[in-house]
A = this chain, B = another copy of it.
């Protein structure tokens, strides 16, 4: 994994990342559902470690199932340092996939963040665990109330987006996006350039420049920007 690209991307908003991916024809990269449990935190990035649930069935989704080899517990112990765990909860927000104890263990294992289109439970305890979380809500019931855990590091859907293990996840206050692995360098490089350009546009707007011709730029604006860019 290119840590240089990661360092660049930490300064690129998820908004800009989606615009870069659109240049490659990818529109389905932002997950509907995951929102920061605590807004205003820093932007996080990491390779995806996927978790997959199917709906609950009363003979399968029981507290006893938590002790099976294929369990959320087993999955957590398999997470490498620095990953972002992405859990496919099928958008079900009436059962909390994880609570304070599992989040605390993930934090201990140096998991960067947890992203899900489902809910967390035990909001107070999850906040206390210090794990960064993007989720679709909070619900008191345990996962087995609505979900059966079936495996990790398989392809999943999350918030209407396909996520494959080791795809790159970036999350900030606008939510969470996925970058296919082979587009990482493109997105990092183009994204950083785009951020620079938008910062210049912002200062132009503050000076009172009109939008047409500025954003997107016409030839005259392009020239002015190039000049500014070259002076950096």
Binding site for B on A (CB under 8 A): 13-15, 17-19, 22-30, 32, 35, 39, 54-61, 63-64, 66-67, 71, 73-74, 76-77, 90, 93-94, 96, 99-102, 104-105, 108, 121-125, 138-142, 144-145, 148, 150-151, 154-157, 160-163, 172-175, 177, 180, 183, 198, 201-202, 205-206, 208, 210-212, 215-216, 218
Contact in complex: A175, B139 (CB < 8 Å): yes
Contact in complex: A140, B57 (CB < 8 Å): no
Q: Within 8 Å CB of A102, what residues of B?
A: 211
How far apart sit A143 and B210, CA to CA, in the bound complex (Å)? 20
Number of copies of this chain that the complex holds: 6
Q: Which of B15, B24, B59 contacts A99 (CB 8 A)?
A: B15
Nearest-neighbor residue (CB-CB) of A25 within chain B? B58
Contact in complex: A145, B27 (CB < 8 Å): yes
Q: Within 8 Å CB of A215, what residues of B?
A: 66, 73, 101
Q: Within 8 Å CB of A183, what residues of B?
A: 59
Q: Within 8 Å CB of A148, what residues of B?
A: 155, 162
Contact in complex: A157, B54 (CB < 8 Å): yes
Contact in complex: A58, B27 (CB < 8 Å): yes
Nearest-neighbor residue (CB-CB) of A72 within chain B? B211
14 A-B pairs, CB-CB below 8 angstroms? A22-B145, A25-B25, A27-B58, A30-B140, A30-B141, A32-B93, A59-B180, A66-B216, A101-B201, A101-B202, A101-B215, A105-B211, A139-B175, A150-B155
Contact in complex: A122, B13 (CB < 8 Å): yes
How far apart sit A155 and B183, CA to CA, in the bound complex (Å)? 31
Contact in complex: A208, B108 (CB < 8 Å): yes
